[in-house]
């Protein structure tokens, strides 16, 4: 999912509640950099999108923090279709085609009202 305001989302960590990591189950990852950076997860038996908001230094330890986002129905439909297309093209060995197509996918803006909280890894 292309999120237009991903850079701005980090500020929501300071004004949203922490969700214990053991309540989060990652279903799949859309991006990975030494660990997941975004994807779909399960919390309270509902699917949410998670986005990495950066590394935070806490008590001399670097911790990854993620925002938990409730997508609108349209956003989740777009996300599910994108993931399905990725899976189809991955199985056929044609990921280059997926990344070419992804360039034309629309960007979505996340509103603070969609932020459910944050969790750390």
Give me the residue spans of the domains in the chain: 2-120
Q: Say if CB 7 and CB 67 are below 8 A apart.
A: no
Determine contact, residues 36/80, Cβ cutoff 8 Å. Answer: no
Pairing of strands 36-43, 46-58: antiparallel
pLDDT per residue rounded down to tens, the chain (121 residues): 889 888 888 888 888 999 999 999 999 999 988 889 999 999 999 999 999 987 666 676 778 899 999 999 999 999 999 999 999 999 999 999 999 999 999 999 999 999 999 999 8
Give the per-residue pLDDT at 60: 67
Tell me phi and psi for residue 44, to 5 degrees: 50, 40
Output the pLDDT for position 56. Answer: 66
**Closest C-alpha to 41, from 25, 21, 22, 64:** 25
The whole-angstrom separation of Cα 23 and Cα 96 is: 35
């Amino acid at each position: 999912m292309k999120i237009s305001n991903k850079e701005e989302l980090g500020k929501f960590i300071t004004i949203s509640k922490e969700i214990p990591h053991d309540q989060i189950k990652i279903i799949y990852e859309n991006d990975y950099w030494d660990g997941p950076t975004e994807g779909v997860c399960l919390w309270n038996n509902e699917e949410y999108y998670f986005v990495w908001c950066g590394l935070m230094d806490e008590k001399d330890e670097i911790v990854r923090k993620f925002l938990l986002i409730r997508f609108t129905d349209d956003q989740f439909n777009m996300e599910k279709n994108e993931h399905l297309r990725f899976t189809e093209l991955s199985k056929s060995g044609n990921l280059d085609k997926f990344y070419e197509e992804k360039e034309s996918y629309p960007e979505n803006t996340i509103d603070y009202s969609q932020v459910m909280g944050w969790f750390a890894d």
